[in-house]
Amino acid sequence: MTSAPISREAPVGLLLVNLGTPDAPDVAAVRRYLAEFLSDRRVVDLPRALWLPILYGVVLNTRPARSAKLYESIWNRDTSEGPLKTFTRLQAEKLQARIGASNLIIDYALRYGAPSIATQIESLIAKGCARIAVLPLYPQYASSTTGSAADAAFDALREMRKQPALRIGAPYYDDPAYIDALAANIRHARAALDFEPEVIIASFHGLPQAQIDRGDPYRAHCEATWRLLCERLGMNALSLRLAFQSRFGRARWIEPYTSDVVTELAGAGVKRIAVVAPGFAADCLETIEELGVEIRDLFLEKGGEKYARLPCLNDSAEGMALIETLAKREIAGWI
Q: What is the pLDDT of residues 142-188, one digit of tens each?
A: 999 999 999 999 999 998 999 999 999 999 999 999 999 999 999 99
Q: Do the beta carbons of residue 177 and residue 325 sit within 8 Å?
A: yes
Provide the pairing of β-strand 131-136 with 199-205: unpaired
Instruction: Give pLDDT, residue 6.
Output: 53
Q: Is 286 annotated as a binding residue?
A: yes
- Per-residue model confidence (pLDDT) at position 8: 64
Q: State in words which class domain 12-172+318-330 has.
A: alpha beta
Q: What is the DSSP letter of 312?
A: -
Report in angstroms the alpha-carbon separations of 290 from 37, 106, 227. Answer: 19, 31, 24
Mean pLDDT (the chain) is 96
In the chain, where do the E strands start and end?
A: 12-20, 104-112, 131-136, 165-168, 199-205, 240-245, 272-276, 306-309
Q: pTM of the full predicted structure?
A: 0.95
At the topology level of CATH, where does 176-309 sit?
Answer: Rossmann fold (3.40.50)
Strand residues in 173-305 grouped as ranges (E): 199-205, 240-245, 272-276
Per-residue pLDDT reduced to its tens digit, 321-330: 999 999 999 9
- 302 burial class (0-12, 13-18, 19+ CB within 10 angstroms)? middle
The pLDDT tens digits for 241-275 are: 999 999 888 889 999 999 999 999 999 999 999 99
Q: What is the pLDDT of residue 1?
A: 39
Q: Using CA atoms, how far apart are residues 266 and 5, in angstroms rounded to an integer?
A: 64
User: Contact at 8 Å (CB) between 80 and 30?
Assistant: no
Q: Which of 181, 200, 186, 304 is nearest to 243 (CA)?
A: 200
Per-residue pLDDT at 250? 82
Question: What value does the mean pLDDT take over residues 64-83?
Answer: 96
36-51 pLDDT tens trace? 999 999 999 999 999 9
Amino acid in the structure at residue 255: E
231 assigned ligand-binding residue: no
List pLDDT tens digits, range 188-208. 999 999 999 999 999 999 999
Asked if 256 contacts 243 with a C-beta cutoff of 8 angstroms, the reply is yes
What pLDDT shows up at residue 277? 98
Residue 263 confidence (pLDDT): 98
Residue spans per domain, the chain: 12-172+318-330, 176-309
Q: For residue 182, what are the contacts with CB-CB under 8 A and spacing of at least 6?
A: 225, 229, 232, 276, 278, 313, 318
Asked whether the domain spanning 176-309 has the same topology as the one spanning 12-172+318-330, the reply is: yes
Long-range contacts for 277-280 (Cβ within 8 Å, ≥24 apart)? 277/202, 277/203, 277/204, 277/205, 277/245, 277/312, 278/139, 278/182, 278/202, 278/204, 278/225, 278/226, 278/229, 279/138, 279/139, 279/140, 279/204, 279/205, 279/222, 279/225, 280/205, 280/312
